Amino acid sequence: MAPAPPPCEEKICASKNDKMRAMFAAVGQPKPAPAATAATSAECPPDREELGRHTWTLLHTTAAYYPETASPSQQTLAEQFIRSLGELYACSHCAADFRSEVEASPPRLGSREEFCLWMCEQHNAVNAKLGKPVFPCTLARLDARWRDGGARCDEEGAESSGPAID
């Protein structure tokens, strides 16, 4: 089981899953919320899991479409983007952990392949801390997930989620 995150007062640090488990444990059986007052998740701010999933989608997709060979200017912009995320990310303990990981393993930005593999390694480091499975860090697998999608994504009405890399 993953260790509990450090205390954080911001709403973004909360986890809907943790709140639900605590509520059900405290009250017993779940009771449905009244339809008239229940807010849909689209009306509520994201929790850290939802924010994390969407952030990883942005990061992996950015890496997947990074230039095959990046210019010095593109490399500088990419590094600023990554470092800014570590400073400005809404979940403070997530941001601190990301900064620490980036310091320990700076972004590799010379090419699309380097950036994709580095991003996968960063994501796997987070997943390992959370007790989640890791994803194979090969360019072919990463492109299949974040860039090409393959035939399964070309079908009418196909979901865009692909194989999980949460």
The pLDDT tens digits of the residues spanning 86-114 come to 999 999 999 999 999 999 999 999 999 99
Whole-structure pTM value? 0.75
pLDDT of 75-87, one tens digit each? 999 999 999 999 9
Q: What is the mean pLDDT of residues 68-77?
A: 98
The count of other CB atoms within 10 Å of the CB of residue 126 is 17
Q: What is the mean pLDDT of residues 33-40?
A: 56
Q: Give the C-alpha distances (Å, rounded to integers) separating 63 from 17, 54, 60, 106, 139.
A: 29, 14, 5, 15, 11
Does residue 50 register a pLDDT over 90?
Answer: yes
> What kind of architecture, by CATH, is found in domain 49-150?
Up-down Bundle (1.20)
